Chain A
Amino acid sequence: NAGVTQTPKFRVLKTGQSMTLLCAQDMNHEYMYWYRQDPGMGLRLIHYSVGEGTTAKGEVPDGYNVSRLKKQNFLLGLESAAPSQTSVYFCASSYGGTRHEQFFGPGTRLTVL
């Protein structure tokens, strides 16, 4: 099992450009999450999904959109990138229900110039 994978690993964007980050999991997890990690801020939840076709806002959703068309994939989109979105993005997944352990991907380092 590959666990949780993320593509790309690194990306540099110019302000105003758009991009999509892809997260895939092969553990048949129901729940998936997108976080951003900034120095001194810990992990902050952007959006999450409790099942295929469902999404919900987390703590810092502004400027991001997500889609969960397939159970194993969770996409994070930036429509018009801003320098404030420079961060490391992590995807995670969990079984859901009473199982709350989240398993993380390796991260995507995004720089917006």
Chain B
Amino acid sequence: GQQLNQSPQSMFIQEGEDVSMNCTSSSIFNTWLWYKQDPGEGPVLLIALYKAGELTSNGRLTAQFGITRKDSFLNISASIPSDVGIYFCAGQPRGSQGNLIFGKGTKLSVKP
């Protein structure tokens, strides 16, 4: 089946640092979504992208829909402790009924 490659798998942040993560696919996607999941809770939608090249911000978060429609990027600027959690990308493949394919997540932790 289709898969999304999400990287990095994990990263440590220090308050104030900028963070970047990305997802790539071998096939074209019509929609890219980014979610955050806190421990013991369900994923929460952060940003939705519908057009190739689209750049969308939500506070300190910025996401882009890649021009090739096979990738997406999420940047977090000036990270704060509450940014800790797992971030998932999700893509809606062309021709699907709205089903999403999820990446395996990027775990953000605070540097000791």
Please give the residue numbers on chain A whose beta carbons come within 8 Å of chain B beta carbons, in ascending order.
4, 31, 33, 40-45, 48, 50, 56, 58-59, 90, 92, 94, 96-97, 100-107
Q: How far is the CB of B9 from chain A (nearest CB, A)?
A: 9
CA distance A45 to B30 in the complex (A): 18
Q: How many A-B residue pairs have CB under 8 A?
A: 56
Choose, from B12-20, B62-70, B71-79, B102-110, the stretch at the interface: B102-110
Please give the residue numbers on chain B whose beta carbons come within 8 Å of chain A beta carbons, in ascending order.
1, 30-31, 33, 35, 40-45, 48, 88, 90, 92, 97-100, 102-105
When the two chains form their complex, are residues A58 and B99 in contact, meaning their CB atoms are under 8 A apart? yes
Closest A-B pairs by Cβ, 7 of them: A104-B42, A42-B104, A43-B102, A100-B31, A100-B92, A42-B102, A104-B43
> A interface, by DSSP: helix, strand, loop or mixed?
strand
CA distance A103 to B35 in the complex (A): 10
Write out the residue numbers on chain B whose beta carbons fall within 8 Å of the beta carbon of A4: 42
CA distance A48 to B30 in the complex (A): 19
When the two chains form their complex, are residues A42 and B100 in contact, meaning their CB atoms are under 8 A apart? no
Assuming A48-B99, A100-B100, what are 12 further A-B pairs, CB within 8 angstroms? A31-B98, A33-B99, A42-B105, A48-B97, A50-B97, A90-B42, A100-B33, A100-B92, A100-B98, A103-B45, A106-B41, A107-B40
CA distance A31 to B100 in the complex (A): 12
CA distance A91 to B88 in the complex (A): 16
Write out the residue numbers on chain B whose beta carbons fall within 8 Å of the beta carbon of A90: 42-43
Write out the residue numbers on chain B whose beta carbons fall within 8 Å of the beta carbon of A40: 104
Q: How far is the CB of B33 from chain A (nearest CB, A)?
A: 6
Partner pick for B100 among A56, A96, A102, A105, CB 8 A cutoff: A102
Write out the residue numbers on chain B whose beta carbons fall within 8 Å of the beta carbon of A96: 98
| Least CB separation from B1: chain A residue | A59
CA distance A99 to B6 in the complex (A): 23
CA distance A59 to B99 in the complex (A): 10
